[in-house]
Amino acid sequence: MSITLVLDAMGVIFASADDVVELLQPFIAQRGGRSDSDHVNDLYTQASLDQLTPDDFWRGVGLDPSVEDEYLSMHRLTSGLKDFLGNVPDGISNVWCLSNDVGQWSSKLRRHFQLNDDLAGAVISGEVGLRKPDPAIYLSLLSRIGVPNDQIVFVDDRPKNLAPAHKLGIRTVHFGPSEQETAISDFNARSFDELDALLRSLN
């Protein structure tokens, strides 16, 4: 049976698990923008739902939109990702991304890190107006992938984002430290080496 693999972005594809707290808020403060975390979070959520343009987000936090690429350059890929994508296990028919992010930022990051050739597609909250864990974004993903739910394996580092997928019959993998393992997931993987071994065992 062929499997469609779906990877979360932040905390799975990218090393920063909470890019808003770890990268965005410090960047804004260091550049002299708004230091109110609640204000930044609110505007980011709006932008990640396509309710606010990226330029309006930057202006809303007190910065010129020209800083955007400098901010995005702070992101780093998770160790082992590129090797994994370059040699996906037999039985993995394709790889998708499902992410809460500003659409333009996600697109720029995929281009910068040359991920588009490795991905069959991406469902991004800022492009569909829905955020995980809203069940509707998973249904949007399913309609685009077009394969039976039990032929999909979804990898995320946040249990709350795994729960709706699990309820839909999608096989789920919690990605991250063993102390954060959760009963919501069918499997756990602490690294891409472990994810690779897990996927090979499913075939």
Q: What is the pLDDT of residues 173-187, one digit of tens each?
A: 999 986 555 567 889
Extents of the domains making up the chain: 3-16+76-201, 19-72
What's the confidence (pLDDT) of residue 184? Answer: 72
| DSSP H helical ranges for 37-78 | 37-47, 54-60, 68-72
pLDDT in the model for residue 182: 59
Question: For residues 138 and 164, is the Cβ–Cβ distance under 8 A?
Answer: yes
Predicted pLDDT at 13? 98
The tens digit of pLDDT for each residue in 87-119 reads 999 999 999 999 999 999 999 999 999 999 999
Domain 3-16+76-201: assigned CATH number: 3.40.50.1000
Question: What average pLDDT does range 5-32 have in this prediction?
Answer: 97
Which residues lie closer than 8 Å to 44 by C-beta, 6 or more apart?
20, 24, 57, 102
Give this prediction's pTM. Answer: 0.95
- Please, are residues 202 and 185 in contact by the beta-carbon 8 Å criterion? no
Q: Which two tokens mark 119?
A: 């991905």
Which pLDDT belongs to residue 73? 98
Contact 175, 199 (CB under 8 A): no
Question: What is the average pLDDT value for the chain, to the nearest integer?
Answer: 95
Rounded average pLDDT over 76-94:
96
